Amino acid sequence: MHLAIEHLPARGRPEQLLLLLHGWAQEAQALAPLADAVRQAFPQAAVLVPESATPADGGRRGRMWYSIEGLQQSLDTWPARVAEQLVPLQAWVLAQQQRLGVGPQATCLAGFSQGAILSLELVARHDGIAGRVLAFGGRFVVPPEQPPQHTTLHFFHGSDDNVFPVDGLKQTLDHLAARQGDATIDIAHGVGHQLHPALVDRALFRLRNHIPARTWRAALGAVPGRGQPADQD
């Protein structure tokens, strides 16, 4: 991968790090509106958008993180295709954190479609490598039996998404909630498989306003007799 977009604070060191991953048959510029929105909302954040070096299947314009050729006919190959990309992605995330001096809890992974899948699967395997994930139009390959406890998962989906239907995502949220995972979902009605401005607005709202469940647990744990708040919004 190579770094296609990098926004750094005008002054001072970055206080947050947001890493945005594009979808299949896209280029980094497809995430420019999201990168610009985040940059304006969080001027002290570093916002990076890498681009895969692999051309999309079938001569399609754009790039891909992994091939989807024949995937519908053999879904059992999906986990291996994704897992192959997680080692270099983990190394890249750690390198950017070290380069910019931003720790894991101040790091946010975000992605659309394939980029969302990679972000989710990375934190499922390396809990706490980032404090949050913004998953637009994406899902887990297989929902983890033990959800991340140090990463908050925010899902943003179109009600008319025909690539990853929203009903399956709602089941995933129930699965995560039953296992004390910290996850939220925002659904844009009448929206398909796309990075819609309404979903970007909700992502900014979640970044500004959602208090992670682990923060609540730490605070309430110091007060005898207090219960834990719900983990799912």
What does the pLDDT look like over 142-195, one tens digit per residue?
A: 999 999 999 999 999 999 999 999 999 999 999 999 999 999 999 999 999 999
List 22, 113, 154, 196, catalytic entry: 113
Domains held by the chain: number = 1
User: Is 193 in the active site?
Assistant: yes
Determine the Cα–Cα distance for residues 178 and 183; give it in Å rounded to an integer.
11
Q: Which CA distances in Å does 228 have to 79, 182, 221?
A: 34, 12, 8
Is residue 232, in this structure, part of any structural domain at all? no
Is residue 136, in this structure, part of any structural domain at all? yes
Over 80: is that where the pLDDT of 225 sits?
A: no
Using a cut of 0.75, tell me whether the model's pTM lies above it.
yes
pLDDT at 185 (0 to 100)? 97
Is residue 225, in this structure, part of any structural domain at all? no
Residues 85-117: pLDDT tens digits? 999 999 999 999 999 999 999 999 999 999 999
Which of 97, 137, 90, 134 minimizes the C-alpha distance to 16?
97
Over 60: is that where the pLDDT of 125 sits?
A: yes
233 confidence band (pLDDT: 50, 70, 90): very low
Over 80: is that where the pLDDT of 15 sits?
A: yes
Cα end-to-end span (Å), the chain: 34
Is residue 152, in this structure, part of any structural domain at all? yes
* Domain housing 197: 2-220
221 confidence band (pLDDT: 50, 70, 90): low
List 7, 157, 193, 196, catalytic entry: 193
User: Is 167 in the active site?
Assistant: no
pLDDT at 126 (0 to 100)? 97
Determine the Cα–Cα distance for residues 130 and 109; give it in Å rounded to an integer.
7
List 7, 161, 182, 196, catalytic entry: 161
Is residue 230, in this structure, part of any structural domain at all? no
CATH code of the domain containing 190: 3.40.50.1820
User: Is 52 in the active site?
Assistant: no
Is residue 227, in this structure, part of any structural domain at all? no
Q: Which tokens is 41 given?
A: 């909302």
Is residue 81, in this structure, part of any structural domain at all? yes
Is the separation of the CB atoms in 197 and 34 below 8 Å?
A: no
